[in-house]
Amino acid sequence: MSFFDKLKDASKKAGAKIQEEAKKQTDKMKDRRNAMKMLKTLKKSDLIKFCDEYGVDFEKSMTKNELIDQINFGGLSINTELVMDFFDSIKRKIPRQFSRSVVEDVEIEHEITRTETIRTEKVKTKIKRTTRTITKLRSHLEQFKPIVTRKKVLKERELEAQMVQSLSAIFGPDKVNYQERARSGRVDIVVYDKYAIELKVINSPSQLTSMVGQVMKYSKEYDKVFLWMYDIKSQLKTKDVNDFKKMMKQASVANLEIFQKR
């Protein structure tokens, strides 16, 4: 191959990479626009919940449009999957004009990352199953109440054992792994090999700071991380939890959900 042929071939490859990157950026922008359109259909009270959940700074005196702008330009990595999860968490149906296009976009994105050989219909089924599983798991974590005797202080191992037992009854014992070894360390509970659950009995607000690195590592290895904190003595203030969420946001941890039980 001559020098000019090599140069021409290199130019083609470079052009293909540029086009591929441009397509990724375009798809990402389109996905964000869809996500913001979905948020605009919510009430102001729901938008306030969204800001509080994902650590977006806001004031209650803001109008709905001001809240939308705050979310859009507040530095949060918005995508349709995140917004869909929020709709599930507040038990809101995705508006009909978005439901089909948004679900299809998310399904295609997941399909590309796994394999390009599976047909779209199979991907739809898989994504819907994943959404149902996360919703089911989230609901259980919200409702779970540990059993504590009057004169006994609940230890983390006892809390973990109760949680494993309850999860196994719902998802099956073969889908729930206890004290799973991972690249990032030993995880308290893992469901379906995808969803990590870290349990903490809170004795001091300083425990939140010590969990930052741990949660960051888990977030890179698992599809979703749930931090379930048993704050029976009300050690944590709202500010403590919000500051922790902000730290996670600054660390680009978007797949974390926090549950604080008292």
Task: Report the 10 Å Cβ neighbour count for 194.
Answer: 15
Mean pLDDT of the chain: 82
Q: What is the DSSP letter of 228?
A: E
Domains in the chain: boundaries? 3-134, 144-261
pTM above 0.85, yes or no: no
In CATH, the number for domain 144-261 is 3.40.50
Confidence band of 7 (pLDDT split at 50, 70, 90): low
The Cα–Cα gap between 96 and 93 comes to: 8
Interval 23-46: pLDDT, tens: 788 888 888 888 898 899 999 999
Q: CA-CA distances (angstroms) from residue 41 to 31, 34, 61?
A: 16, 11, 19
Least confident stretch, 55-69, 70-84, 94-108, 152-166: 94-108
Summarised one tens digit per residue, pLDDT across range 130-140 is 788 889 999 99
- Which long-range CB contacts under 8 A does 210-213 form with residues at least 24 apart? 211/244, 212/244, 212/247, 212/248, 212/251
Span 226-247, pLDDT tens digits: 999 998 888 899 899 998 988 8
Q: Is the pLDDT of residue 165 over 90?
A: yes
Q: What is the pLDDT of residue 118?
A: 52
Q: Would you say 66 and 19 are in contact if contact means Cβ atoms under 8 Å apart?
A: no
